Amino acid sequence: MESWASPDVPRLPGAGRPLALFDSATRQVRPTAPGAQARLYVCGITPYDATHMGHAATYMAFDLVQRAWLDAGHSVHYVQNVTDIDDPILERAVATGQDWREIALRETALFRSDMQALRALAPSHYVGAVESIPSVVRCIQALHARGSVYTVGPDRDGSAGPPGQDDLYFDVTSDPLFGEVSHLDEGQMLQAFAERGGDPHRPGKRNALDPLLWRAARPGEPAWDPEASGKGGLDIGPGRPGWHIECVAIAMDTLGMAFDVQGGGSDLLFPHHEMGAAHAEVMTGEWPFARHYVHTGMVGLDGQKMSKSLGNLVFVSRLREAGTDPMAIRLALAAHHYWHDWEWTDGGLAEAQARLARWRQAASLESGPDFEPTLARMRAVLSDDLDSPSALTAVDRWCDEALSRGGRDAGAPALMAAACDALLGVDLS
Ligand code: 5CA
Ligand code: ZN
């Protein structure tokens, strides 16, 4: 799938420090230890509605991760998926009378333009679920070879396909490490599973937590024929992929096992990232799927998680249409530490706009105080679990001094602008 145009990243003098991030699986801030090339997978959107501030906060956090790696001298292999076939898109299609493909294409295009406006670094692979179906089928065959796939017959409403075209499920007990990512107890897992796309009560499953791998064709739903993917040991009828196996197939195709960071919002910790790790590790017999599992906090509005299903959304595209500078949106997001839950407010955006104006004013000075100590401070706090609020405060201090007392360093304002661009993605020109 087409990605978007990536902004240039200026090179700064010296080099950033190795990046440490909070890993949900070990519950510690640990150094990310990428080789020359850092490998990152971030779970992408399900394109049935526009990008809201919660999505933007998540993608901007992983943008800062990449900028810290680049500053520390690594290249980055960044992969993001698009869940361009799943229940919410089909439900939206029914509700609006539109074709599901049209919805997915339109919302994905809007997401790309939002990301480009926010100056997000583009993924080197931007991959849709639909185009990954042959890989998904190969993964299911590999899981079958390990004995971890079973079939479940028609739904209670009888809507499953004809016999022989049952749904396919993954047996979570085939993974001895199941639970290693989220550390939730069974009750918490069951609750999260039910809330986030799982079907704990479906009759015929071996374990309530077993996730769907392949949904057999239902009348009126799109379906793909796995025959096109080549024969495997399991006879798979026409249907569509489950959610977790989609991200595993895409990550395995592009990054392989033991990539550096698997990222997404904290709503993906369970079941999505737990199931992904289980699928990949059972399928390959290797460990780990990802070296770090990194989760961003949930952004809310009016005391509730911002979510498409709740309808309490502030859209990036609406703010852009209303003339809000995307750089102010970035600053409003970076003012919160990435793993905190926080609330989007108009006041927060107004503060970011005032900050942006002040930073631009300071960047346009003919000289200022030496910026090197501020750059060192920005690098130190960002490398320490991506403390972006402290990085903003460091820049604020330099701007205060530059604007109140001035300084004699003629290169300082340009270095300050380059640092904001390279490390924070904020263009002050
Ligand atoms: N397509 C799947 C991932 S494979 C999905 O969760 N799509 S999504 O459109 O629902 O969310 C896209 C990304 O935004 C995910 O990483 C999700 O964790 C994150 N996200 C969703 N809502 C919020 C929110 N309110 N605050 C912060 N991040 C959020
Ligand atoms: Zn995902």
Mean pLDDT of all residues in 55-72: 98
Pocket perturbation via mutation, ligand 1, pick of 268, 340, 343 by most ligand atoms within 8 A of CB: 268
Amino acid 376 reads A
Nearest atom (ligand 1) to Cα of 55: 14
Evaluate whether 126 touches 2 at the Cβ level (below 8 Å): yes
Residue 160 pLDDT more than 60? no
Evaluate whether 322 touches 366 at the Cβ level (below 8 Å): no
Residue 383: name the closest of 28, 29, 36 by CA.
29
Mean pLDDT of all residues in 372-390: 98
Ligand 1, atom 18: nearest CA belongs to which residue? Answer: 265
Tell me the CB-side half-sphere exposure of residue 9, using CA atoms within 13 A. Answer: 23
Mean pLDDT of all residues in 25-51: 96
Task: State the pLDDT at residue 311.
Answer: 72
**Residue ranges of the domains in the chain?**
20-300
Give the Å distance between the CA of 348 and the centre of ligand 1: 21
Ligand 1, atom 6: nearest CA belongs to which residue? Answer: 45
CA pseudo-torsion sign 47, 53, 54, 56: positive
Give the Å distance between the CA of 297 and the centre of ligand 1: 10
Residue 156 pLDDT more than 60? no
What is the rounded CA–CA span in Å between residue 408 and residue 428?
21
Residue 162 pLDDT more than 60? no
What is the rounded CA–CA span in Å between residue 45 and residue 55?
8
Amino acid 344 reads W
The region of weakest confidence among 37-46, 100-109, 166-175, 221-230 is 221-230
What is the rounded CA–CA span in Å between residue 422 and residue 281?
36
Give the Å distance between the CA of 44 and the centre of ligand 1: 7
Residue 163 pLDDT more than 60? no
Output the average pLDDT for the chain: 95
Q: For residue 275, what are the contacts with CB-CB under 8 A and spacing of at least 6?
A: 170, 172, 211, 244
Nearest atom (ligand 1) to Cα of 243: 4
The region of weakest confidence among 83-92, 230-239, 325-334 is 230-239
Task: State the pLDDT at residue 305.
Answer: 75
Ligand nearest to the backbone CA of 41: 2
Give the Å distance between the CA of 72 and the centre of ligand 1: 28
Count of C-beta atoms within a 10 Å radius of residue 308: 17
Question: Any idea what DSSP says for residue 420?
Answer: H
Which residues are close to ligand 2, an ion, with C-beta < 5 A? 43, 247
Q: For residue 7, what are the contacts with CB-CB under 8 A and spacing of at least 6?
A: 119, 121, 425, 427
Nearest atom (ligand 1) to Cα of 246: 4
Ligand 1, atom 23: nearest CA belongs to which residue? Answer: 54
Residue 253: name the closest of 384, 10, 79 by CA.
79
Task: State the pLDDT at residue 158.
Answer: 60
Give the Å distance between the CA of 229 and the centre of ligand 2: 22
Task: State the pLDDT at residue 164.
Answer: 53
Nearest atom (ligand 1) to Cα of 86: 1
20-300 topology per CATH: Rossmann fold (3.40.50)
Tokens 């199931």, residue located: 275
Ligand 1, atom 22: nearest CA belongs to which residue? Answer: 54
Ligand nearest to the backbone CA of 296: 1
Pocket perturbation via mutation, ligand 1, pick of 42, 53, 58 by most ligand atoms within 8 A of CB: 58
Give the Å distance between the CA of 281 and the centre of ligand 1: 24
Residue 29 Ramachandran class (φ > 0 left, ψ -120 to 50 alpha, else beta): beta
Ligand 1, atom 17: nearest CA belongs to which residue? Answer: 265
Ligand 1, atom 24: nearest CA belongs to which residue? Answer: 54
Pocket perturbation via mutation, ligand 1, pick of 45, 59, 299 by most ligand atoms within 8 A of CB: 45
Ligand nearest to the backbone CA of 308: 1
